[in-house]
């Protein structure tokens, strides 16, 4: 959860959705959570959603930084939620654009689900070779199969998010066989992976600002933990609402399911301004 991957964040005059970003699934019919986009404050630095070629405006994170700076100093939850809302709305042009920017998350979730599915012959994971190996060795193999290194921050963030999710599963089920998970256990990993990866994007973009504005480094790390909890709880709630519709997540539909759950969560984040 540290800040080793934090940076000053992306600047202006770069594409909100870079050309190498993974496209979202085209099938919009599988998941229909239909979140209602709330009214939000009008800010001068708010970009207007448009196509994928839109450049990020100047001072794109100014409102997010102002609110998150206040949160870092005081721990005020309202400032945190407003900061996250501006991060999505002003920083990325809203849930639609940001979900496209995070398009690698649903794709990685699908690869992760395939790697964890004992009924799927994933060519990137030699289950026979991994028999008898330690949990750490199995996790390393799953990470490599689901998200190979490619030198990008996105890949490194996703790889760490997968490790975090699998470690949390092991924490709850110390005797689990990572090569023979149940459907519920795989869904646990996918949900937690998604939350961790979204948080790591936040950390890369604006985590340093939170730490720099806290009274000291210890408090700064505590503030990041609070922000992570906020993000995780919101994403968990989106997955819960999806389950309540009677829809199940499996290796076949996981990419579409995660894509729309992600967009629903981002809509909730932006709605913190309501």
- In the chain, domain spans: 62-273
Please give the Cα distance from 135 to 25 (Å, whole number). Answer: 33
The candidate with the shortest Cα–Cα distance to 264, out of 75, 53, 106, 52, is: 106
Residue 45: is its pLDDT beyond 60?
A: no
Instruction: Summarize the confidence of residues 144-152 as an average pLDDT.
Output: 94
Indicate the Cα dihedral angle 69, 70, 76, 81, nearest 10°: -60
pLDDT for 137:
97
pLDDT for 261:
95
State percent of the chain over pLDDT 70.
Answer: 78
**Predicted confidence band of residue 167 (pLDDT cuts 50, 70, 90):** very high
Note whether 16 and 242 are within 8 A (CB): no
For residue range 63-88, what is the model confidence (pLDDT) as tens digits? 999 999 999 999 999 999 999 999 99
**Predicted confidence band of residue 17 (pLDDT cuts 50, 70, 90):** low
Instruction: Summarize the confidence of residues 30-50 as an average pLDDT.
Output: 41
pTM over 0.85: no
The count of other CB atoms within 10 Å of the CB of residue 269 is 24
């Amino acid at each position: 959860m540290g800040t080793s991957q934090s940076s000053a964040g992306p600047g202006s005059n770069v594409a909100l959705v870079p050309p190498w970003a993974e496209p979202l699934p085209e099938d919009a019919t599988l998941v229909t959570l239909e979140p209602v986009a709330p009214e939000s404050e009008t800010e001068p630095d708010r970009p207007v959603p448009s196509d994928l070629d839109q450049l990020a405006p100047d001072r794109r994170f100014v409102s997010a930084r102002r609110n998150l700076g206040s949160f870092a100093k005081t721990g005020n939850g309202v400032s945190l939620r407003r900061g996250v809302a501006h991060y999505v709305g002003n920083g990325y042009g809203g849930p639609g654009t940001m979900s496209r920017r995070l398009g690698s998350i649903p794709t990685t979730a699908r690869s992760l689900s395939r790697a964890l599915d004992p009924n799927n012959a994933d060519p990137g994971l030699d289950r026979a070779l991994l028999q008898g190996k330690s949990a750490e060795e199995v996790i390393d193999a799953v990470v490599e199969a689901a998200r190979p290194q490619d030198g990008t921050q996105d890949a490194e963030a996703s790889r760490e998010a997968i490790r975090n999710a699998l470690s949390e599963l092991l924490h709850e089920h110390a005797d689990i066989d990572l090569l023979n998970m149940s459907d519920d256990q795989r869904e646990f990993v996918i949900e937690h992976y998604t939350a961790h990866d979204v948080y790591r994007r936040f950390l890369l973009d604006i985590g340093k600002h939170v730490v720099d504005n806290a009274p000291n480094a210890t408090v700064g790390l505590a503030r990041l933990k609070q922000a992570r909890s906020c993000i995780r709880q919101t994403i968990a709630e989106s997955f819960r609402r999806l389950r309540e519709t009677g829809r199940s997540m499996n290796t076949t539909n996981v990419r579409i399911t995660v894509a729309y759950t992600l967009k629903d969560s981002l809509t909730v984040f932006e709605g913190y301004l309501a």
